[in-house]
Homo-oligomer: A and B are copies of this chain.
Amino acid sequence: MDEVHTEVLAEPALEDPVLIEGLPGVGHVGKLAAEHLLEEFDTTLVARLYSRHFPPQVTVEDGRSQLVGVEFHAVETGDADLLVLTGDHQAQSNEGHYLITDAVLDVAEEFGVDRAYALGGVPTGELVDEYGVIAAASDDALIETLDPHVEFREDEPAGGIVGVSGLLLGLGERRDLPVACLMGETSGYLVDPKSARAVLEVLQDIVGFDVGYDSLEERAEEMEEVAKKIREMEQAQQAPSDEDLRYIG
C-alpha cells in the first residue's frame, strides 16, 4: 500500500465542480456541514482515499468492516455541482496531513475542480449567541469575491489554520487553485449544528445553491437543550453568592 491510496469508484460528468471539505475538527462544524449536504441532495460516492497515515483500523457496522479513510461524494444541487470530502479521521502525523492533502488535491484536479472551500469551526471559548463566520483565502481575488458574505478579521484565527483545512489553502495556492476556509464561530466545547448552519448559509450564497435546514435544525435543537442546561448550571454556580448577600441583608 502506498502512503496514500486513491480508489476511484465512479466518474460522473460534473460541471466545474466546487470542492467542499468537511473533516472532523473544532465543534465538528465542517463535518456536520458537509454531511448535511450529503443528506439533503442526491449523491454519488466517487472516490475513497486510504493511507497508512490514518489509524490502523476498520470500523464495523452490523458485522461489516470498513477500512478507515475519507470519501469524495459528487453532489448535484440543481445549481452548482459539488465534490464533497468527508470522513471520520484526520491524519495521525504531520507528514500525513501534507501527503493526504496533496492526494485530495490530485483527486480534485482529476474531477476538474476550480475552486475549493474548507469548512470548519473557530473556537470562541464561550457559548455563542450570534454565529459569525470568518474566512481566510489563498488569493486576493477570492478575498474580494467573498468579502460581502463573510468577515476577514485582522488577527483571526489567531493560531492560523491547521490540518487538512489549513493545508488545502497552503498547498492549493502552490497549484494555483483558489481555496477559502469558512470558519463558523463555536464554543469549542460542543458539537455545534448551529455553527454548521451558519457556515452553510454563507456557502450557499457564495457557491449558488439552495438547501433546506430541517434535519440540521433538529440536531441543533437537541444540542440547544444541552447548551441550555450548561447555561443553567453556570447561572446556578453564580447564584449562591447573590443569595448569600440577601441572607446577609
| 0/1 string, A125-168, CB within 8 A of B gives 1 | 00000000001111110010000000011101101111110110
User: Could you say which residues of chain B place their CB within 8 Å of the CB of A160?
Assistant: 57-60, 65, 68
Whether B162 lies near A56 (C-beta < 8 A) is yes
Q: Distance (Å) between the CB of A73 and the closest chain B CB?
A: 20
Whether A53 lies near B135 (C-beta < 8 A) is no
Whether B94 lies near A94 (C-beta < 8 A) is no
| 0/1 string, A38-78, CB within 8 A of B gives 1 | 00000000000010111111111111111110000000000
Docked Cα-Cα span, A59 to B170, in Å, equals 9
Docked Cα-Cα span, A50 to B169, in Å, equals 14
Whether A94 lies near B56 (C-beta < 8 A) is yes
The answer to the question of A204 belonging to the interface, with a C-beta cut-off of 8 Å to chain B, is no
Whether A166 lies near B57 (C-beta < 8 A) is yes
Number of chain copies forming the complex? 4
Chain A's interface: helix, strand, loop or mixed, by majority? mixed
- Number of A residues whose C-beta is below 8 Å from B? 58
The answer to the question of A99 belonging to the interface, with a C-beta cut-off of 8 Å to chain B, is yes
Whether B173 lies near A63 (C-beta < 8 A) is no
User: Could you say which residues of chain B place their CB within 8 Å of the CB of A153?
Assistant: 63
The answer to the question of A80 belonging to the interface, with a C-beta cut-off of 8 Å to chain B, is no
Nearest chain B residue, comparing its CB with the CB of A100 = B56
> Which one, B64, B65, B169, B171, contacts A1 given CB within 8 A?
B171
Given A53-B95, A99-B52, also A174-B67 (CB < 8 A): yes
> Which one, B65, B98, B156, contacts A161 given CB within 8 A?
B65
The answer to the question of A97 belonging to the interface, with a C-beta cut-off of 8 Å to chain B, is yes
Whether B143 lies near A181 (C-beta < 8 A) is no
| 0/1 string, A1-34, CB within 8 A of B gives 1 | 1000101000000000000000000000000000
Nearest chain B residue, comparing its CB with the CB of A150 = B63
Whether B166 lies near A62 (C-beta < 8 A) is no
Residues on A lying within 8 angstroms of B by beta carbon are 1, 5, 7, 50, 52-68, 91-95, 97-99, 101-102, 135-140, 143, 152-154, 156-157, 159-164, 166-167, 169-171, 173-174, 179, 181
Name 11 interchain pairs, CB-CB below 8 A, sorted by A: A1-B171, A52-B98, A53-B94, A56-B166, A58-B136, A58-B170, A64-B136, A64-B138, A65-B138, A66-B170, A93-B94
